[in-house]
Chain A
Amino acid sequence: MRMLETEVLVIGGGVTGVGVAWDAALRGFDVILVERRDLAHGTSGRFHGLLHSGGRYVVKDPVSARECIHENRILRRTHAHCIEDTGGFFVVTPEDEDSDYPDRFVQACAETGVPCEEMAVAQALRREPRLNPRISRVFRVPDASVDGFQLTHATAQAARQAGARIFTYHQVTDLLVAGGEGDVRVVGARVFDAVRAEEMEIRAAMVINAAGAWAGRIAGMVGSRVDIVPGKGVMIATAHRLVNTVINRCKWPSDGDILVPAHTVSIIGTTDVPVADPEDLRIEEWEIRKMLAEGEKLIPGFAHTRILRAWAGVRPLYRESAVTDDRDISRKFTLLDHQERDGVAGFITITGGKLTTFRMMAEKTVDRAAAHLGSRKPCITAETPVPGAEHGPYWLGHRLREVEDGRLQNQLICECELVTRGMLENAARLNPTVTLDDLRRDVRLGMGPCQGGFCTYRAVGVIHELKLGHGVTPDTEGSDWRVADLQSPAGNPGRGRPPVSAPEPASSLADHLYDPNLLLRDFLQERWKGVVPIVWGQQLKQEQLDRLIYLSIMNADHLPDAGLKSPLSDFYGVDVTPNDVLEEPHD
């Protein structure tokens, strides 16, 4: 069995985990991070993309509001390219007019230091013509839109550059424990490497459990009880942007009251349903109807606009005592030092919180770990830009601008989201690729209106050619994965005309899992999973065209190796058992 040693072992490749790895590595610790799937596969990649100004929490949870505005300002510097400065509106819709909430909101913004300015409705409508013209008041706050995939990747790359080692598709199967009754100490973890299909042991002086909604399971391996209530939230994305500003309802936070412009789409979210299992991501019909109905209040016609996709994420809500409504469980983060709490040394759990405050969570966590490990180096993440921040803030047109400039040099593989062959090859070359979904998170493959209809076949072909040495994109210098250029067509230039002979096979693909037919089937099914809950109208027509391509033209249901499965094939299963509950259940 392979053995590795490190000072700090981080479990979980969401934004919190990579934040911890980054911070710890910057403070000079030797760090390994393990993630059982791809980075940001969990909650960090399944939210609405809102970088909070804190406005949402000013009335209900002033501590969170203060944390949000503090972190919002920092991340705009350290992770500039992951953030679009959309600004945010809190709008009073006719439904919310008879409430004193708007005045309380203004007051609470002043108290928590969240900048807030009332603006004329007409001015807001000029900026956002699709917004409900019947709104009565508008407040402007510094909300922004943030790409959770890129935020996680960029932070992970910063961690790597600071010396951390990051292993994806490495699942913790057990925690290694030393000592006995009254003197239990976590000394590492047993890990299964799904790519090489082998077991390994990682020994560490400190194990940090950043597994998010799965943190309870990890803690349970050493008998520590950590009650996480996974709170499922459903979001839906429209086929194109309806607004360019984050739109919030100015009312007590509830379901479906945020609409966020994220890249080429608008996302509305969310519902909030406690679930027993963080993998239980089934989306109910009533949740979709609710999102459509709530969207209609913000944008007239929303319920008739084309919807691309629905997905669910799970909030890792930590329960200190029994509470009935989820949303009343703290959104503040929770740091559990198991030595103090349960007498288990060498083990810290960080959970709860929000994506916006991940850096602060990481700082507090590493502070605590450092105290145990005997280091006094200060945290410098607030002053350290991650790779890519030098590109400056995200703007919607950047891909199109770059594709235009190099249009005749590089083929567009995903036409909807403007993913070039160069982007795809570089991402596939340097990031373990178990499924095309991994590449989707890197470059937005298949995230547009056709939902993989055209690019699935192309991506499979490109990766197959890459594997056989027919890649067309020059290798990036050295072995470093240029995460800073991950999403940039210009950062992954093609040679235009590839070499026709003398191939050099690429080696970084997950070998024993690699099968082009499996990649194809998995991605088609993965896309289908997110389409089924919202497919009707024009998207139904789109799916029928996609079926024509993969059944009639490709005959993809009769390719060899039909029985092969990837570690994620089952995750892509869709449950279509009818549940005709059309209204939110009340109990």
Chain B
Amino acid sequence: MTDLLIIGAGLSGLLAGVWARRQGLRTRIAATGLGATHWHAGTIDALGYLPGEDAPVRSPFAALTRLTAARPGHPYALTGEAGLREALAAFRALLDELGLPYGGAANPDENLLLPSPAGAPRPVYLAPAAQLAGDMSRPEPYLLVGFQALRDFYPTVIAENLTKLGFRSRAEFLPIELITDRRDFSTIDLARAMDSADLSRLANALKRVAAPGERIGLPAILGLRRHGQIIAALREAVGAPIFEIPTLPPSVPGLRLTTVLREHFERDLHGRLDLGMTVIDFRAEAGRVTWVASRASARPVRHRARRFLLATGGILGGGFHSEPRGRVWETIFDLPLTAPQKRSRWFRPDFLAPEGHPVFRGGVRVGPDFRPLTLAGEPAFENLWAAGNLLADSDPISERSLEGVAIATALAAVTSLIKTDV
């Protein structure tokens, strides 16, 4: 019998899988497909901006009280500062162990500012080691190196904006042949090509264009499997700090993160991960979910488990759906959502509105134990938990809290569901 069935293979689903498995639970993950980690920058954003405020958050922990004052139902209000700290530390320790180290600002209470692929400062709490030398508090001038014919990274735009922001910056281009002979490639293809490329050619070319004292920002394509060695070898050969800047999706840093988590779960921990399984139905008896059913060829497949964790994401993850008249609903259990159920109340005028759009803040309300609640405030089911970006009262994209919320709530939900006898 499965102890825990997790629905969703995004960051919260995978991490919950890892943590639950490590606690000895027979854990399975079923998901339609893979998740948002593949699109994002690979960084861990804990809290970058408070709703409607223009200045970046310096310390996500110090800003929590103001965040939860504005959004009392925010998932961080449930995890608390301690829960957030604990989860971020656990994540960092885990990734160290898996050989994809993450780091942060010198002061562990604070965010880093890293240059975005448009040249704006991104407030992030943890970043892959490969991105850390981009830290905007460091003194070295920037050299942004692009590859012409790479359509997902534009170093001149970054350099111009960094210059406008007061950072000494310039851009250079190198031929793509230094990495691949292929003519049709994605950033992922380039990263794979780097795994087997002759690094000395690229290193020499970088040496030629770099001035002494500069740090070199490259698109995030520096290897998949051999990423760590590649970065180290390039730094050594060029003799300058080298760092990655994320690109348009598909995200190489995101793929690296997913890959180490997935492999750890499946290979080291012998967890089962099934993709292509869209959960479409469930059965509950006496307040307990007995099974969920997923779409399959010819007939649905039923999955029984003692506990279920819903980690399907919100609108972006596919956990919610919506229709022209403005109804927004949770697709499996039809849990009540806090989203406005009228389209005329969904949006603000500006696409980039700093307060976000109301529809994207709506979600599943959970109790302090991370069990989804009915409208009456009771746990909807005795053995159903929820974690990740489907939770109510948070707009992780405008808050820049996407990964922070996923990580903190995944740990909190697993901690709670393990403690609960079912």
Contacts and interface: CB of A to CB of B under 8 A. Distances in A.
Interface of A: 285, 288-289, 292, 303, 407-409, 411-413, 421, 454, 457-458, 460-462, 464-465, 468, 470, 472, 496-498, 500, 516-517, 520-521, 524-525, 527-528, 532, 534, 536-537, 540-541, 544-545, 547-561, 573-576, 578-580
Contacts of A573: 349
A407 B149 CA distance: 13
- Counting from the closest, the 7 A-B pairs by CB-CB distance are A461-B154, A528-B351, A578-B344, A408-B183, A555-B120, A560-B164, A544-B316
A525 B351 CA distance: 6
Contacts of A516: 157, 160-161
B154 A464 contact: yes
19 contacts: A408-B184, A458-B154, A465-B154, A497-B175, A497-B177, A500-B174, A516-B161, A525-B351, A534-B324, A536-B343, A544-B315, A544-B316, A545-B316, A549-B249, A550-B351, A553-B39, A555-B121, A559-B161, A580-B344
Contacts of A465: 154, 156
B420 interface: no
A interface SS class? helix
Given A412-B151, A465-B154, A552-B45, A536 B323 contact: yes
B12 to A, nearest CB: 16
B352 A460 contact: no
B68 interface: no
A464 B41 contact: no
Contacts of A408: 183-184
A574 B349 contact: yes
A536 B339 CA distance: 13
Interface of B: 36, 39-41, 45, 54, 56, 116-122, 148-149, 151-154, 156-157, 160-161, 164-165, 173-177, 183-184, 246, 248-249, 314-316, 318, 321-324, 326, 342-345, 347-352, 354, 359-360, 397-398, 400, 402
Nearest to A409: B183
Contacts of B347: 532, 574, 576
A7 to B, nearest CB: 45
B354 A540 contact: no
B348 A537 contact: no
B175 A554 contact: no
A520 B118 contact: yes
A516 to B, nearest CB: 5
B128 to A, nearest CB: 14
A421 B344 CA distance: 38
Contact of A498 (B148, B183, B315, B326): B148
Contacts of A553: 39-41, 116-117, 122, 246, 248-249
Contacts of B248: 454, 457-458, 549, 553
B370 to A, nearest CB: 23
Contacts of B165: 560
Contacts of B321: 537
B207 to A, nearest CB: 16
B398 A541 contact: no
A464 B344 contact: no
A558 B118 CA distance: 10
Given A521-B352, A547-B397, 10 more contacts: A407-B184, A457-B117, A460-B154, A472-B148, A534-B324, A536-B322, A536-B324, A550-B352, A576-B347, A578-B342
Contact of B157 (A454, A460, A561): A460
Nearest to A521: B352
A409 B182 CA distance: 11
A303 B359 CA distance: 21
A554 B350 contact: no
- Most A-side CB within 10 Å, residue of B41, B118, B315, B402: B118
B121 A517 contact: no
B186 to A, nearest CB: 11
Given A461-B156, A497-B175, A555 B36 contact: no
B151 A458 contact: yes
A289 B116 contact: no
- Most A-side CB within 10 Å, residue of B153, B165, B177, B249: B249
Contacts of A574: 347, 349-350
Contact of B349 (A413, A457, A462, A575): A575
A457 B155 CA distance: 12
B421 to A, nearest CB: 37
B402 A552 contact: yes
B182 to A, nearest CB: 9
Contacts of A548: 36, 39-40, 316, 397, 402
B156 A464 contact: yes
Nearest to A303: B324
Contacts of B156: 461, 464-465, 468, 470
A472 B183 contact: no
Contact of B324 (A288, A461, A557): A288
A555 B161 CA distance: 12
A90 B360 CA distance: 42
Given A292-B324, A464-B160, A498-B148, A552 B119 contact: no
A556 B164 CA distance: 14
A472 B314 CA distance: 41
A91 to B, nearest CB: 24
A472 B148 CA distance: 8
Nearest to A554: B118
A333 B347 CA distance: 40
Given A536-B326, A574-B349, A517 B161 contact: yes
Contacts of A575: 349
A559 B322 contact: no
Nearest to A558: B120
A551 B398 contact: yes
Nearest to B347: A576
Contacts of A541: 315-316, 318
A557 B347 CA distance: 17
A436 to B, nearest CB: 14
Contact of A497 (B119, B148, B316, B360): B148
Contacts of A550: 351-352
B161 A560 contact: yes
A104 B157 CA distance: 62
A576 B183 contact: no
A576 to B, nearest CB: 5
Contact of A411 (B149, B161, B175, B323): B149
A526 B275 CA distance: 37
A457 B348 CA distance: 22
Given A461-B157, A547-B397, A557-B354, A413 B344 contact: no
Contacts of B183: 408-409, 496
A556 B120 contact: yes
A494 B118 CA distance: 25
Contacts of B174: 500
B396 to A, nearest CB: 8
A465 B160 CA distance: 11
A468 B318 CA distance: 41
Contacts of B121: 555, 558
Contacts of B151: 411-413, 421, 458
Contacts of B56: 558
Contacts of B175: 497, 500
A46 to B, nearest CB: 20
A252 B56 CA distance: 59
A53 B318 CA distance: 44
B116 A554 contact: yes
Nearest to B249: A549
Contacts of A534: 324
- Most B-side CB within 10 Å, residue of A464, A520, A558, A575: A558
